[in-house]
Amino acid sequence: MADMVVELIPTPGLSVSQTGSPPKKRSLYEKSLQPCVAEFVGTLFFVFVGCVSVIENVEAGGRLQPALVHGLAVAVLVGVFAEISGAHFNPVVTLAVYLVGGLDVVMVFPYVLFQTLGGLMGAALSKALTSKKHFTKASGAAFSVVQVNEQVAGALLCEILMTCFLVIVVCLGAVNEKSRSPLISFLIGCTVIVNILAGADLSGVCMNPARAFGPAVVSGYWNYQWIYWVGPIAGALVAAAVLRLLLGDKKTRLYMK
């Protein structure tokens, strides 16, 4: 995603050189398997450091530490993995990037699978590293903000809107030719930080089913887990529709070209 011109052709990576020169011919491994490995490794470290920040911050409380850790982690990971896989690390980002023309359909399922496995491994490593007391008190960094049915509608809407915001930033900054930015890794990191600071008390602000699934499996905490799948998927679909119908350039927009 970062610092490069995006290539809207059926390949797993999103970019070519900044000079606009054609991409070098890549091997089958670099086209198919290496991007999946990058998604696994990137998601693993994102979920790992994110979970550790929540677990070890459980007694101090507050939103700042988890917000900064999640945002800075994703900014760094996007910066270094963008040229290998596009640096999604999130199933709903993969879905949205595909829908706006930035990823071949044959790579969607492998990306989602490796992201989910990376999230599971990252959560497992966070459990192995942190104290049992803190891990239990933080529910393994699973999202436990929603406690009663009255909170469900607000939490679901929060996940939809926050994910929509994030995905619009990703797609406009990395996929859409007219608006893409060399600062995309910074922009994505800032968006994650802002969203968590704004909505942590409403839903926890997951925006990423892989981030929700891994800790839920490892800790056995499944309360209202569906919110962290339905909300982000819906938000990604809304964002993709906005780009396809209104905000995208001529290559992305379906109508009014």
Q: For residues 111 and 62, give the distance between their C-alpha atoms in angstroms, rounded to a whole number.
A: 33
Judged against a pLDDT cut of 70, whether residue 221 lies above it is answered with yes
> Are 232 and 140 a contacting pair, CB within 8 Å?
no
Average pLDDT for 90-108: 97
pTM of the full predicted structure?
A: 0.89
DSSP, collapsed to helix, strand or coil, labels residue 193 as helix
Taking residues 12-23, report their average pLDDT: 46
**Res 135 pLDDT > 50:** yes
- The predicted model gives 3-18 an average pLDDT of 38
% of the chain residues with pLDDT over 90: 81
Mean pLDDT of 113-139: 96
**Per-residue confidence at 16, pLDDT binned at 50, 70, 90?**
very low
What is the Cα–Cα distance from 221 to 135, expressed in whole angstroms? 12
Please tell me whether residue 223 adopts helix, strand or coil conformation: coil
Q: Which of 41, 188, 208 is nearest to 141 (CA)?
A: 208
CA-derived radius of gyration, the chain:
18
Sorted by where each begins, the domain ranges of the chain are: 5-16+29-247
The CATH architecture that domain 5-16+29-247 belongs to is Up-down Bundle (1.20)
Predicted confidence (pLDDT) per residue in 180-203, tens digit: 999 999 999 999 999 999 999 999
* Mean pLDDT along residues 56-78: 92
Contacts of 47 (CB under 8 A, 6+ apart): 118, 119, 121, 122, 123, 126, 210, 211, 214, 215
pLDDT tens-place string over residues 22-64: 557 788 888 899 999 999 999 999 999 999 999 998 877 788 9
